[in-house]
């Protein structure tokens, strides 16, 4: 059994979603989370802050961020593995080698939620038949990334066509914040459209934003690197010149709206199978 500990034992959010990343290993007994003082076999460190390198066990770096915005604090060859949504750019690789299993990719959208993604897809069916009493929402809580200004611009453009509810810290006009976790999907389910723009674009960098809207039974208005992975019928391209015209046509054609609403977002659904195989080859031999 692989005994895993966190270098940042106080970071509850990091512990929550990385626990989802290792769910299969925890269930089948091949891995166990322990405290740092309990002689672990492997430490996990997040990309967000500097950390120490303990002498008693190797460290794996885990990132769910765009490498350009959140580069590693230390050379990547110091880590036993780099677990990230996409490969770092060449100037940051510092000896990183995919062929030895040093870099292991995973889809963050499959671990963002506290239910297995297969269960979330099953719940999507019930949300698809729920009534949609509101037009569109926008939930943004930071201004990080080169697409931040683009998100503001799009909100203003769509809001001029028809009022958009903003329930994040940025441009809030509802007087409250949208709930978090699984309750957020239920909250989204009252909307026909959701503005779902990534913070930034980089090959392979895709977050949970569009999937949240789709799982809630809404149509995401999307910009980001996920466009190459998505079914074009399942989202509206935020860069389209006639975007408000598309919104108007869907709002006036319930049958076409339902067709696109029911379309599967991903051409191939995200899964942890490849990550689990590569992690097992690296650490669970």
- The tokens describing 14, both together, are 């990091």
pLDDT at 130: 78
pLDDT at 27: 95
The CATH fold of domain 2-107+270-283: Rossmann fold (3.40.50)
Note down pLDDT in tens along the chain; length 285 residues: 999 999 999 999 999 999 999 999 999 999 999 999 999 999 999 999 999 999 999 999 999 999 999 999 999 989 999 999 998 988 877 666 655 568 999 999 999 999 988 899 999 998 998 788 999 999 999 888 999 999 999 999 999 999 999 999 999 999 999 999 899 999 999 999 999 999 999 988 999 999 999 999 999 999 999 999 999 999 999 999 999 999 999 999 999 999 999 999 999 999 999 999 999 999 997
Residue boundaries of the structural domains of the chain: 2-107+270-283, 117-262
pLDDT at 83: 97
Question: For the structural domain made of 117-262, what CATH number should be given?
Answer: 3.40.50.11660
Same fold, 2-107+270-283 and 117-262: yes
pLDDT at 2: 97
* CA–CA distance, 151 with 222 (Å, rounded to integer): 10
Place of tokens 């269960």: 119
Ramachandran assignment for 214, one of left (phi > 0), alpha (psi -120 to 50 degrees), beta (any other)? alpha
Strands (E) across the chain are located at 2-6, 31-33, 42-46, 59-63, 81-84, 103-105, 134-138, 165-166, 191-197, 219-223, 236-237
Q: Are 194 and 216 in contact (CB under 8 A)?
A: yes
* CA–CA distance, 64 with 80 (Å, rounded to integer): 17
Tell me the backbone φ, ψ of residue 272, rounded to 5 degrees: -95, 5
Predicted structure pTM score: 0.91
* CA–CA distance, 232 with 124 (Å, rounded to integer): 19
pLDDT at 129: 85
pLDDT at 101: 66
pLDDT at 96: 65
Kind plus residue range of the DSSP H or E element containing 88: none
């Amino acid at each position: 059994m692989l005994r895993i500990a966190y270098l940042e034992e106080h970071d509850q959010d990091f512990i929550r979603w990385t626990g989802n990343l290792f769910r299969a290993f925890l269930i089948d007994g091949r891995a166990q989370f322990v405290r740092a003082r309990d002689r672990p076999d492997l430490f996990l460190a997040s990309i967000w802050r500097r950390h120490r390198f303990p002498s008693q066990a190797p460290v794996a770096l885990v990132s769910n961020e765009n490498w350009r915005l959140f580069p590693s604090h230390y050379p990547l060859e110091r880590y036993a593995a780099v677990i990230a949504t996409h490969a770092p750019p060449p100037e940051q690789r510092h000896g990183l080698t995919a062929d030895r299993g040093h870099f292991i990719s995973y889809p963050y959208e499959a671990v963002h939620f506290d239910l297995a993604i297969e269960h979330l897809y099953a719940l999507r069916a019930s949300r698809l038949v729920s009534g949609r009493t509101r037009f569109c929402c926008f939930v943004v809580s930071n201004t990080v990334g080169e697409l931040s200004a683009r998100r503001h611009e799009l909100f203003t453009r769509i809001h001029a066509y028809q009022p958009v509810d903003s329930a994040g810290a940025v441009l809030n006009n509802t007087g409250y914040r949208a709930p978090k976790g699984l309750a957020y999907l239920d909250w989204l389910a009252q909307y026909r459209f959701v503005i779902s723009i990534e913070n930034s674009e980089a090959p392979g960098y895709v977050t949970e934003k569009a999937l949240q809207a789709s799982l809630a039974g809404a149509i995401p208005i999307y910009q980001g690197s996920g466009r190459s992975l998505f079914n074009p019928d399942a989202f509206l391209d935020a860069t389209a010149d006639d975007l408000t015209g598309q919104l108007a046509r869907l709002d006036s054609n319930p049958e076409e709206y339902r067709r696109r609403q029911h379309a599967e977002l991903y051409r191939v659904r995200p899964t942890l199978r490849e990550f689990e195989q590569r992690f097992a080859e690296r650490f669970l031999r």
